[in-house]
Amino acid sequence: MYPDQSLYPSNSGPEMARRINKTLERASQIEQSEGGTKRDWFVPIVADAEAGFGGPLNCFEIMKAYIEAGVAGVHFEDQLASEKKCGHMGGKVLIPSSAHLRNLNAARLAADICGVPTVIVSRTDAESATLLTSDFDERDREFIDIPAGRTPEGFFRLKKGSGLKHCIKRSIGAAPFTDLLWWETSTPNLEHAKEFAEAVELGAMGYKFQFITLAGFHTLNFGMFELARNYKDRGMTAYSEIQQAEFEAEEHGYTAVRHQREVGTGYFDMVTMAVTETFNIMDLRDETFYDCVRQFAGKQSLDCYLESDEISDLKKNTCVTLSNGYIYRLSVIESSIKNVIKLFLKQARKTY
């Protein structure tokens, strides 16, 4: 792990986006195998390109990489990439407004060359940043604290208390080059948000995208901490309480009670059955094939299927061994296993 300081390789974000899209693809395949897709699983991904990991050429390349990974939007901030800090940390260094616009242009050029309409999000850290690399851009000069001098690294110091106005000025300048504007704040200050939104040329845009960047981080870590603490005190009871909560959440759409089903084991079992002439269904009975069929049938048993008249012709062409009402083995002679599955599921729907 790394802190939020752009210390990780620049291809890490695109690789993560690619993995997320692969996960969504698997979810779509699972739902399709369980009766047909009911939603579009490929939700838009808004990716973080940090400060671009360098200059305009770096922004150009990382934008292309994100597009290839299948993201819908990419976010760029106006910090100096080599000194990049988390928005809530001190010591942030801004690049000139013109340099940030150049980076945004590079990202837009990458999207145009790829021929993919991609949303670009421009973020400014001017609200809490204290340093600026250069006084070249006249849009930044009024916010430079000239009497305070420069740092040993040569950075200009910014005036205290001018951050919000600096944010507004930078955002107005970036508006023609981006699709969405975002300013990093240290606190959720509604008065500042109102002032920012009502600035010239920004009021009509409004706030359309409200999100929590750390929701997953805090939920996962706190959830595991609570489990470990309670497990120490109460043993397996603590874990069973979590499972009980999972079971109760199923009626609201929660699907991760069966971990093997959640990652697509049933889907791949059906692929195997479709291409295998002789197949032992008992190998799959507990959590994969039967779970998959139950999604169609809506019941917990498949026994009635075995007594059905509709599959009598299929039985004549199939070697079936039964025990306690379960199918143990199907050795298909005249029909392909794919047709067996089709008739099986068709009957399951009618029976239940």
Q: Which residue numbers are catalytic? A: 86
Instruction: Provide the sign of the torsion angle of the four alpha carbons 55, 180, 22, 20, taken in this order.
Output: positive
Q: Are strands 326-332 and 318-323 parallel, antiparallel or unpaired?
A: antiparallel
| Residue 248 to residue 267: CA distance in whole angstroms | 25
Under the phi-then-psi rule, with left for phi > 0, alpha for psi from -120 to 50, and beta for the rest, what region is 195? alpha
| Residue 29 to residue 221: CA distance in whole angstroms | 29
3-class secondary structure, 229: helix
| Residue 65 to residue 15: CA distance in whole angstroms | 9
* One-character DSSP codes across 113-126: HHT---EEEEEE-T
CB atoms within 10 A of CB 208: 6
- Helix, strand, coil shares of the chain as percentages rounded to 5? 50, 10, 40
- 86 φ, ψ (degrees, to nearest 5): -60, 145
Token pair in block for residue 69: 């990974």
The closest alpha carbon to 280, from 332, 328, 343, 334, belongs to 328
Where do we find the tokens 């991760």?
Answer: 256
